[in-house]
Amino acid sequence: MHSLEKVVYIMYGQHIRKPQHKHMQPSESTLYDILQLPPSASSDDIRASYKRLVLQLHPDRHQNSGNTAAFQALQHAYTILQDDIARTEYDRQLALQAEASMVAVSDELELDDMDVSDEGVHTTTCRCGGHFVLPGKDLELGLARILLPCDTCSLLIAVQVASHDT
């Protein structure tokens, strides 16, 4: 089994599960896992890993190998992590998700339950009167679930965006 097939690929909010072992189910991985890098990787490390993995996974080089989904996940991971602004936002969302295991989420919403502006900004009102704000650019990160803090109080909600087409 190819090393990239040992992780769960996150692609546009959809999970493509590849078993690590016949008796083990994989856990959700990050875009860093797809590129086989730590979150502290430099831009040069990201570029080098991407180039190395493209040679291993490109469908034109390996026809009938079944690596199309893995290659698309690699493309998506590189697109986000090579862009400094998108990477910063992705890292922020990863940190919020890690904190969520230690913090109570006050509500779970579907993206369609939120109001959306002409600019693509999704919002919903908090019980304190403040707002939970989800900029449209955050949807481009490909996360299935985004945690949003209230802009006034300490409440946190989780928004499911997996079924949203970006």
Supply the pLDDT for residue 59.
Answer: 78
For tokens 């086989």, name the residue: 36
Supply the pLDDT for residue 23.
Answer: 26
Query: Quick one: angle between helices 68-81 and 84-100, nearest 10?
Result: 100
**Domains of the chain, start order:** 3-82 (1.10.287.110), 97-160 (3.10.660.10)
Residue burial 18-45, b: 16+ Cβ < 10 Å; e: rest: beeeeeeebeebbbbbbbebeeebeeee
Mapped onto helix, strand or coil, the DSSP state of residue 146 is strand
Whether 43 has a pLDDT exceeding 60, the answer reads yes
- pLDDT tens digits, one per residue of 61-103: 766 666 788 888 899 999 999 999 999 989 988 887 777 667 6
Q: What is the mean pLDDT of the chain?
A: 77
- pTM (two decimals): 0.53
